[in-house]
């Protein structure tokens, strides 16, 4: 209640923030505003990806360098703001699955099939995306 002393169960003692060092699996890309905040086992990352060199291969766009591996039970998605990501589908989401230090992008097409956003889906040299994603760390 009001006026009670802090106990170990409600004291914030696991807080960390910093810059992200991100990469991309295929080709090269630049990243801006790349930061993370970790509170307990909750990690929030945010970044802009731009200057994506590979805009032709069928490889999935995969970002590397998450600061903490995700938990075995993690399934985290978040919508992104992107331009010139044109896979012909619906809204694009960022996704981090279980036991991963990567972010992939997915969209739904053909009445609901979930597919990777690929480098070949980028249709302009100005392709960029803003991403914020919160996931559970291991």
pLDDT in tens, 31-76: 999 999 999 999 999 999 999 999 999 999 999 999 999 999 999 9
Question: 8 by DSSP, 3-state: which?
Answer: helix
Q: Residue 122 pLDDT more than 70?
A: yes
Q: What is the pTM of this model?
A: 0.86
User: CA 85, CA 127: separation in Å to the nearest integer?
Assistant: 6
User: CA 8, CA 107: separation in Å to the nearest integer?
Assistant: 42
To the nearest 10°, the Cα dihedral for 40, 42, 47, 53?
110
Closest among 57, 55, 56, 52 to 24, alpha carbons compared: 52
């Amino acid at each position: 209640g009001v006026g009670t002393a802090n106990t170990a169960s409600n004291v914030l003692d696991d807080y960390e923030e910093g810059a992200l060092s991100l990469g991309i699996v295929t080709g090269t890309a630049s990243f801006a505003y790349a930061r993370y905040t970790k509170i307990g086992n909750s990690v929030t990352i945010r970044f802009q990806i731009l200057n994506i060199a590979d805009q032709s291969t069928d490889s999935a766009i995969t970002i590397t360098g998450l600061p903490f591996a995700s938990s075995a039970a993690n399934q985290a998605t978040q919508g992104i703001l992107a331009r010139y990501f044109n896979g012909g589908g619906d809204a694009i989401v960022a996704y981090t699955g279980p036991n991963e230090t990567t972010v992939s992008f997915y969209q739904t097409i053909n009445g609901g099939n979930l597919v990777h956003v690929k480098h070949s889906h980028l249709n302009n040299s100005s392709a960029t995306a803003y991403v914020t994603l919160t996931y559970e760390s291991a």
